[in-house]
Amino acid sequence: MTERMSMVKALNSGLRLAMERDPQVLVMGEDVGRLGGVFRVTEGLQKDFGEGRVMDTPLAESGIVGTAIGLTFRGFRPVIEIQFDGFVYPAYDQIVSQVAKLHFRSRGHVRMPLVIRIPFGGGIGAVEHHSESPEGQFALTAGLKVVSCADPHDAYWMIQQAIASDDPVVFMEPKRRYWESGDVDTGSAALPLWSSRVVRAGSDATLIAYGPMVKTCLDSAEAAREDGLDLEVIDLRTLSPLDLEPVFESVRRTGHAIVVHEAARTLGLGAEIAARVTEECFYSLESPVHRVTGYDLPYPPSRVEHDFLPGLDRILDAVDHARGLRG
């Protein structure tokens, strides 16, 4: 069955199904209950499942994560919401020092079935601390799984898969895509959670992205078609572990790779992907791997954020440079 819905609705539906299946699934966070979350992702859940399973918490991210860790020890599967990306840092120590390491530290005896939902990225005209891209800081932490949905269909399935995982999952949600609608096939077999996928086939260059930048790359590919270029677009979906086999296969065909993300360029995920592609596809590459990213600056005021964020023109410029069409 296919239904048209926004990403917010898809996430809400996925959360609802997970809670119906397993009474040990809990939802926690600031304003997730009566308000339904600032983006309304959890709207209606407290009404239907009660305050004992959908809990409004104090404004204390470290406390939210710490409480969730304790709940996992008692057999619960908490899903916590960090209200905005820039608010996660008070809980950073809990996440990287406890959540990420308890399974290893206990020699496998302790499981950590915890999902940490983080709306991330810019493009919504928000104030300071509301448009960050911290995904790389979690992806480099051993013991954490990090994923990012790019459309409503993946949002619906990936949130359910993340909740079912016995490993801790940092679930990055592209907030600027929350209100965009798409077809969700609720009856299909979902892709494995830790896998990337080709979302647009092409032959002239490979665009590699995740989260909010997937749609931007698809728009760039459509624009490039008018100039006779056929661009392939790959949605990484999983940032840790990276599933790069589809990327390698694509680059071996196209000879060109362009990685796109909102996070800063230096030590961003694009650097790791560029290194891995170069190692695996060196003799197939016709040009160096290019990166189109945010700048190495604090996120700017909203009135100039579109000059900061990767856009269609910057992506197509990188494609032209890679193909040697510009000096």
Instruction: Identify the CA nearest to 173 among candidates 50, 4, 9.
Output: 9
The catalytic residue positions are: 130
Sort strands 2-6 and 181-185 into parallel, antiparallel or unpaired.
antiparallel
Q: Which pairs with CB-CB distance under 8 Å and at least 24 residues apart come from 21-26?
A: 22/77, 22/163, 23/53, 24/75, 24/76, 24/77, 25/53, 25/76, 25/77, 25/78, 25/79, 25/163, 26/53, 26/54, 26/55, 26/71, 26/76, 26/77, 26/78, 26/79
Cβ pair 38, 217 in contact under 8 A: no
Structure tokens at 93: 């120590």
Can you list the alpha helix ranges (DSSP code H) found in 25-111?
45-49, 61-73, 92-94, 102-105
Cβ pair 25, 117 in contact under 8 A: no
Structure tokens at 14: 């996925």
What dihedral angle (degrees, nearest 10) is formed by the CA atoms of 179, 182, 185, 189?
-90
Cβ pair 132, 120 in contact under 8 A: yes
Instruction: Identify the CA nearest to 237 among candidates 162, 137, 134.
Output: 162
Those residues whose C-beta lies under 8 Å from the C-beta of residue 74, and which sit 6 or more positions away, are none
Cβ pair 1, 13 in contact under 8 A: no
Side-chain-side CA neighbours of residue 272 (13 Å):
17
- Tell me how many degrees the CA angle 182-187-192 measures, rounded to the nearest 5: 85
